[in-house]
A and B are shown apart, each in its own frame.
Chain A
Amino acid sequence: MRLRGKLQRLIVIPDFSQDFFALFGLRRAYHIDAAKLDQAYHEMQGRVHPDRHAHLPETERRLSMQWATQVNEAYRTLKKPLLRAHYLLRLAGAETDHENNTAMSPAFLMEQMEWREAVAEARAAGEHHELEKLMQRLEKHGGEILAEIEHSLDAKKDYAAAADAVRRLMFIEKLEHEIEDALEALENQ
């Protein structure tokens, strides 16, 4: 953006050239103080949000929308654990390369197939309760992987291990979405 280049000399608030952690005044790490993030986010939106500039000419309103859009994107990235882990890997130059790297361990893939079958069966049988139970188990499993990610990123700085865990978590989240869709489909019947 042309504007950004010119404005940098003016201590742009917010300064979008820095990474999202710095933007919100947080340490760059997987473990974050969620309350502090929320507070920094609210404080920043309080300044840049389009509602603050609705009485101004179109130029100012457009700028405000762009700033608020970027603040929302930064917040969402740090708020969601999976996105945050992805982002940290990107900052560390260790992309997950999830679109090309699909090599997962046979044991993991086997487990995935079993999960998938269980979801499909529960969906076909209309077993609302069973789907919710599967969801709970998946969430627990996801939580374990998140703990693994935190350990790899923050304590060991082992980005390869973290990237592997992130890829596994993506499978889990996809399954969770499938269960949500199944639950919704059952409710709509």
Chain B
Amino acid sequence: MALLQITEPGMSAAPHQHKLAVGIDLGTTNSLVATVRNGIAVVLSDENGRGLLPSIVHYKPDGGVDVGYAAQGAQATDPRNTIVSVKRFMGRGLKDVSHIESMPYDFLDAEGMVRLRTVAGVKSPVEVSADILRVLRVRAEASLGGDLVGAVITVPAYFDDAQRQATKDAAKLAGLNVLRLLNEPTAAAIAYGLDNASEGVYAVFDLGGGTFDISILKLSRGVFEVLATNGDAALGGDDFDQRVYCWILDDAKIRFPSIEDTRRLLLKAREAKEMLTSHDEAPIHAELGTGEQVDLTLKIETFADMTKTLISKTLGPTRKALRDAGLTVDDIKGVVMVGGATRMPQVQRAVAEYFRQEPLTNLDPEKVVALGAAMQANVLAGNRAGADDWLLLDVIPLSLGLETMGGLTEKVIPRNSTIPIAKAQEFTTFKDGQTAMSFHVVQGERELIADCRSLAKFELRGIPPMVAGAARIRVTFQVDADGLLAVSAREMTSGVEASISVKPSYGLSDDEIAGMLKESIEHVGDDVQARNLREQQVEAQRLVEAVEAALAADGRLLRAGERADIDEEIASLRKRIAGSDHRAIKAGIDSLNAATQDFAARRMDQGIKRALTGQKIVEFKI
């Protein structure tokens, strides 16, 4: 986009340049979109004034899709085609999903990620999530009156690589430019910390609909530094509903509920749970498909008793996070509660007891993540004002490693390392003349490969034949600021180099994404070719303008030959823009980008230096 904007980091953009950016909390139960308007983060509501969008997607026989409140009613009437809590399936295979027996869906165990067979065809969890995100994007664009520059999408801190990749893919599929994947507790800490001007070490206890995170953060002078994070990517409010549901079946002696009844009773279970946040007992009335009546009363003590083990499951990760941070409960200045499930009194009691202090609940636990994400999106989009100069230093939640001999893992990047991070490890051949080597990338803390999550398998070929032990194969792990991993391998000794980058096998391949994108575009009756061409033309035009502005401002940073190369690339791209081949334009964009790489670096460097010294540098010698 615009090289033009680099010049002065730390300087605020002119008001008319305010870019539209949003933060999206893609939740298990509810999703929200928020933005910063006139310097204040606000949740954007639908036309009925409702901020929350239930994360429910109903696929209809006519190909139509209902999302949110519109899909809510279909849960009990058409459970097979009404997907709730899809977040639990993101980046997950069938064997990873718990309570599958009480789920009404027609599962398909596909390579990598589970799929759902619906009346509208087979859907991947990525597509279902994209349908939710699309509604939020449209809401935001309507509300803000323009196209979005980008979005920050939040993910549970304990999400592994596959789950993060799936989330990013869903956002892309929904037509969003992902500025950053942001960990939910960190987002909450931004909203909370900036609101209260807090300093010191805080714990963020985030129990959502389907995930649990605990993050320990140090807040000091505008720096939010995550010291450690832990959690359970399959523990949340849904599990409490599940316990109540089982109790109902037991108490009402229902042996084989239909899928409709299951959904109906799960809804009743949730209602009862919610009622118990402010009452001592909750009545449960339901009429089953058979005409049978369910008429029960759930007492708060009974509820607390049946969910005790769930609450104790949050304490293990909490202890581990504290230990990894090298701290004890006495070091924690405050505990911020996030997520709808923290409304349950017994959760608040357990947290208060463990940390020996009352948790902080002064920000709405259901909105705080979206608000923090909006603040971060505003900064990332380049709308920074002087006061917004905060810095986030986040970590990777789970160790990354490689399989070694005997099915063991070798950790390459340990958990709770600050990102971005890169680590290289060298390996050698064990046979004379060996020309290939295979690698298995895993994530997790356990010693055995079988207990970790398999992220990718790949092979490095074309190693020149050498005696055993002579080759030096360097495997590099790079984790970016989204917490996403890229792995490459390269043979170092010979002049010959071979390298490969892998995408996790649990994610979708680029081809799959392209296919889905094409499908969704066709679905709305658009012409793919025309759209591609238009998009590339706009992108190319933007780039040309940006480079020209940069040349006008800082052309002196280039030597004559470098300048000529760039001018030539610009001329070539201009010609392509006038044509009708979107691939040629894309190639031209890539080529101009490559040609301006060093120039961009010098400009960044200069901008950084200016910001540092607080004065403009007039003359620059190369």
Listed in ascending order, the chain A residues whose CB lies under 8 Å from chain B are: 3, 6-7, 9-13, 42, 45-60, 63-65, 68-69, 72-73, 75-76, 180, 183-184, 187-188
A52: chain B residues at CB < 8 Å are 9
Listed in ascending order, the chain B residues whose CB lies under 8 Å from chain A are: 1-3, 5-6, 9, 19, 149-150, 179-180, 220-221, 223, 316, 319-320, 323, 376, 379-382, 389, 391-393, 417-422, 445, 478, 480-481, 543, 546, 593-594, 596-598, 600-602, 604-606, 608-609, 611-612, 620-622
**Contact B420 A187, beta carbon cutoff 8 Å:** no
**Contact A57 B323, beta carbon cutoff 8 Å:** no
**Contact A51 B605, beta carbon cutoff 8 Å:** no
Residue in contact with B481 in the complex, picked from A3, A47, A50, A180, CB distance below 8 Å: A50
Known: A63-B600, A187-B316. A47 touches B611 (CB 8 A): yes
Q: Which of B6, B379, B605 has the most CB of A within 10 A?
A: B605
Q: Tell me the nearest residue of chain A to B621, going by C-beta.
A: A9
CB of B333 to closest CB in A, whole Å = 18
CB of A23 to closest CB in B, whole Å = 14
Knowing that A6-B598, A55-B150, A69-B421 are A-B contacts, what are 18 other residue pairs whose CB atoms are under 8 Å apart, sorted by A's residue number?
A: A9-B621, A10-B620, A12-B605, A13-B608, A13-B612, A42-B221, A45-B391, A47-B608, A47-B611, A54-B380, A55-B19, A55-B149, A55-B380, A55-B381, A57-B1, A59-B597, A72-B421, A75-B418
Known: A49-B391, A56-B6. A7 touches B593 (CB 8 A): no
Complex CA–CA separation, A50 to B479 (angstroms): 12
Known: A13-B609, A51-B380, A65-B480. A56 touches B5 (CB 8 A): yes
**Contact A50 B480, beta carbon cutoff 8 Å:** yes
A187: chain B residues at CB < 8 Å are 316, 319-320
Instruction: List 6 A–B pairs whose Cβ atoms lie within 8 Å, in order of A's numbering.
Output: A42-B220, A48-B608, A56-B6, A59-B596, A72-B418, A184-B320
Q: Tell me the nearest residue of chain A to B547, going by C-beta.
A: A57
Known: A13-B605, A48-B608, A51-B180. A69 touches B223 (CB 8 A): no
CB of A130 to closest CB in B, whole Å = 17
Q: Tell me the nearest residue of chain A to B423, going by C-beta.
A: A73
Q: Tell me the nearest residue of chain B to A183, going by C-beta.
A: B323
Q: Which of B150, B417, B478, B604 has the most CB of A within 10 A?
A: B604
Complex CA–CA separation, A166 to B221 (angstroms): 35
Complex CA–CA separation, A52 to B3 (angstroms): 14
Q: Which of B316, B417, B598 has the most CB of A within 10 A?
A: B598
**Contact A76 B598, beta carbon cutoff 8 Å:** no
Q: Tell me the nearest residue of chain A to B481, going by C-beta.
A: A50
A46: chain B residues at CB < 8 Å are 223, 389, 391
**Contact A45 B602, beta carbon cutoff 8 Å:** no
CB of B274 to closest CB in A, whole Å = 31
